[in-house]
Amino acid sequence: MSEKSLSAHKDFVAIDDYSLEDLRAILSLAREQKPLARAHKLPHSHPNRTLACVFAKPSLRTRISFEVGFQQLGGNTLFITDKEIGMGTRESVYDVAQVLSRFVDGIMIRWFDHQEVVDLAKHATVPVVNGLTDLNHPCQVMADIMTIEEHLGSIDGKTVVMVGDGNNLAHSWLNAAIRFPFNFILACPEEYTPDEAVVRRAEAAGASFMITHYPREAVEGAHVIYSDAFYSMGQEAEAVKRRRDFAPFQITADLLSAADAGHIVLHCLPAHRGEEITDEVMDGPHSVVFDEAENRMHAQRAILATLIK
């Protein structure tokens, strides 16, 4: 296996923390390990290692893909909720980082406040992997790039169009565009543009991207159409308003008629079928959403295998 150390970081908190070479190394390990994992033939590279999986939000894919993925390497996993550890309330982030680092060999965390995850990573002596914050979702986009490359070949030069909210996924795509040479377009309502600091960083780094409010023009000739919920975890109280504001941003077969003939459709899931995406598109011939879900496990296992010693 071609596992190698990432040049600069012990943690995986944001995609653009890494060089393109590091990101490519993770993706090629993920590709190498996928058939072995499917055949139940992965060597146990991490026996007697434990990964703590900390969740402040619900999950299907993230929890199961991290737990099963690490167990496939011979490791153990622990599921911990925010209510139990009370990071930042019952105990300081610093103290939680110190204590967890004495017990486990890695921490995966799904949290609200991104800065608290950055602080946890800073104070922990073991690797910390971001399993989604309000600001970004880097492991998802690594799995997405893996999926795009399986179906369309290299992402280099491709156009990826996200139709929807300028949210954590949009931010991770902007971060990815800093490193990978593809073109990113976000078509979002005017009120829902991405975080300005994230946009400025992408601009300053020379990433190829555009933010527009016209989905029909955005998808013209696109190779990848990307969807996410109109409201994210923690925004449930805004659901009614958001459903109204985002109605013209639904991904329909009609909208996709302008995309490249060989386009693929991705959705990080969970999908609200009939809201941001129709059943016809989700279940249609261009949809690769379940390959994408599976690749969460392969991409993340490669991240864990690389970071956890």
Applying CB under 6 A, the residues found at the interface with ligand NVA are: 132, 167-169, 228-229, 232-233, 268
Please check whether residue 194 is in contact with residue 174, taking contact to mean a CB–CB distance below 8 angstroms: yes
The distance of closest approach from Cβ of residue 269 to ligand NVA in the complex, given in angstroms and rounded to an integer, is 7
Closest to 273 (Cα-Cα) out of 294, 255, 252: 252
Which residues inside 200-219 make contact with ligand CP, applying CB under 6 A? none
- Kindly state whether residue 269 participates in binding ligand CP, applying the rule CB under 6 A: yes
The distance of closest approach from Cβ of residue 48 to ligand CP in the complex, given in angstroms and rounded to an integer, is 27
Whether 53 is a known active-site residue: answer no
Is the Cβ of residue 232 or residue 306 nearer to ligand NVA in the bound state? 232
The distance of closest approach from Cβ of residue 143 to ligand CP in the complex, given in angstroms and rounded to an integer, is 9
State how far the Cα of 278 lies from the Cα of 249, in Å rounded to an integer.
Answer: 11
Task: Name the binder of 56 from ligand NVA, ligand CP, none, CB < 5-8 A by kind.
Answer: none
- Listed in order, strand segments (DSSP E) in the chain are 50-55, 76-81, 106-110, 128-130, 159-163, 183-187, 208-212, 224-227, 264-267
Residue number with the shortest CB distance to ligand NVA? 232
- Kindly state whether residue 163 participates in binding ligand CP, applying the rule CB under 6 A: no
The distance of closest approach from Cβ of residue 73 to ligand NVA in the complex, given in angstroms and rounded to an integer, is 24
**Token pair listed for 191:** 């009120």
Collapsed DSSP state (helix, strand, coil) of residue 254 = helix
What x-and-dash track marks residues 121-150 binding ligand CP by CB under 6 A? -----------x-------x----------
> Per DSSP, what are the bridge partners of residue 91?
87
Is the Cβ of residue 22 or residue 165 nearer to ligand NVA in the bound state? 165
Is the Cβ of residue 190 or residue 236 nearer to ligand NVA in the bound state? 236
The distance of closest approach from Cβ of residue 266 to ligand CP in the complex, given in angstroms and rounded to an integer, is 11
Is the Cβ of residue 233 or residue 258 nearer to ligand NVA in the bound state? 233
State how far the Cα of 227 lies from the Cα of 160, in Å rounded to an integer.
Answer: 11
| Other residues' Cβ atoms within 10 Å of the Cβ of residue 64 | 14
- Which of 146, 268, 277, 307 touches ligand CP (CB under 6 A)? 268
List CB contacts of 50: < 8 A, sequence separation 6 or more: 75, 76, 77, 78, 103, 104, 105, 106
- Output phi, psi for 142, to 5 deg: -65, -45
Is the Cβ of residue 62 or residue 278 nearer to ligand CP in the bound state? 62
Task: Name the binder of 60 from ligand CP, ligand NVA, none, CB < 5-8 A by kind.
Answer: ligand CP
**Token pair listed for 54:** 């900390």
Which region holds residue 33: left if phi is over 0, alpha if psi is between -120 and 50, else beta?
alpha
Active site residues: 268
| Interface positions with ligand CP (CB under 6 A) | 59-62, 132, 140, 268-270
